[in-house]
Amino acid sequence: MALTPDEFYQHALAVANGEHRLPLSRMTGWEISPFEQDGLRVSPLVPPVAAEPPRHGEDPADCDMCAEKDKGIWFNERWRLDRITGAGVPLVLMLYPRDHYDLAELSDEMAAELGVLSTRVVRHMQAVPHISRAHMYRFGDGAAHLHMWFFARPEGQTQLYGSWLVVWDDLLPEYPADLADADAALVADALVASSGGFRTATA
């Protein structure tokens, strides 16, 4: 059985300093870290809250992702793919169910579709010239509506390897939108060819 919230907090404090700051992450020592360790410090660890705050869209009536179910670069009857603007890496895409589901709520059939679609999105992103790899992430603490992130790593930028890519994306200047739009259209066209559905004229 997992530790209770208070037990977890006390377990973590056992390695913290007097200000409740944990040691620096091992990841900050990796060559791909965007930060030098000198001058870095960890935020103080705060006690657990009695009840976690609700995520955005716990009620589908208030869900922005449901309100945008017809927005995107590619659709089929159950899924949509959209380009995230303002990114620093060449292309960031997001895959959503068109109806309101979180990951654990998907039927086995939809879960299987998610696996196939995610693989094809990665495959098609990696086929775009000058993109070396596409990485997929799922973070579910901010919004209740499932959303899968796909980040394209630019060719040759080996410092942007791996799990730090999302941080580098936030640090880099915005990638030219016209180029990202064109590459998103390539992915959308390839997804139509491999998976059916349709793409919008603006993709």
Q: Which pLDDT tens digit goes with each residue over 49-91?
A: 989 999 999 999 999 999 999 999 999 999 999 999 999 999 9
Percent of the chain clearing pLDDT 70 (strictly above):
99
- Residue intervals of the chain classified under CATH 3.30.428.10 are 60-199
Looking at residue 201, its pLDDT comes to: 65
Per-residue pLDDT averaged across 122-142, rounded? Answer: 96
State the CB neighbour count (10 A cutoff) for residue 176.
10
Token digits of residue 40: 């870095």
For the segment 164-186, the average pLDDT, to the nearest whole number, is 96
**pLDDT of the residue at 196:** 94
Give CA–CA dist 101/106, Å, rounded: 6
CB count within 10 Å of CB 203 equals 22
| Dihedral Cα 121, 141, 64, 146, nearest 10 deg | 40
Q: Name the CATH architecture for the domain at 60-199.
A: 2-Layer Sandwich (3.30)
Split at pLDDT 50, 70, 90, the class of 200 is confident
Average pLDDT over residues 160-179: 95
- For 77-126, how does the pLDDT look when each residue is reduced to its tens digit (9 = 90+)? 999 999 999 999 999 999 999 999 999 999 999 999 999 999 999 999 99
Contact 191, 74 (CB under 8 A): yes
9 has a pLDDT exceeding 70 = yes
Please say if the pLDDT value at position 203 is more than 70: no
**What does the pLDDT average to over 8-16?**
93
Question: For the chain, what is the mean pLDDT?
Answer: 95
Q: Cα-atom radius of gyration of the chain, to the nearest Å? A: 20
Beta sheet of 79-83, edge-to-edge order: 131-138, 148-154, 92-97, 79-83, 74-75, 198-199
Q: Report how far Cα 113 is from the mean position of its chain's Cα atoms.
A: 18
Banded model confidence at residue 202, pLDDT cuts 50, 70, 90: low
Separation in Å, CA 66 to CA 36, 111, 134: 41, 19, 26
| Whole-structure pTM value | 0.92
- Would you say 131 and 154 are in contact if contact means Cβ atoms under 8 Å apart? yes
Give residue 50's pLDDT.
85
Q: What is the DSSP letter of 1?
A: -
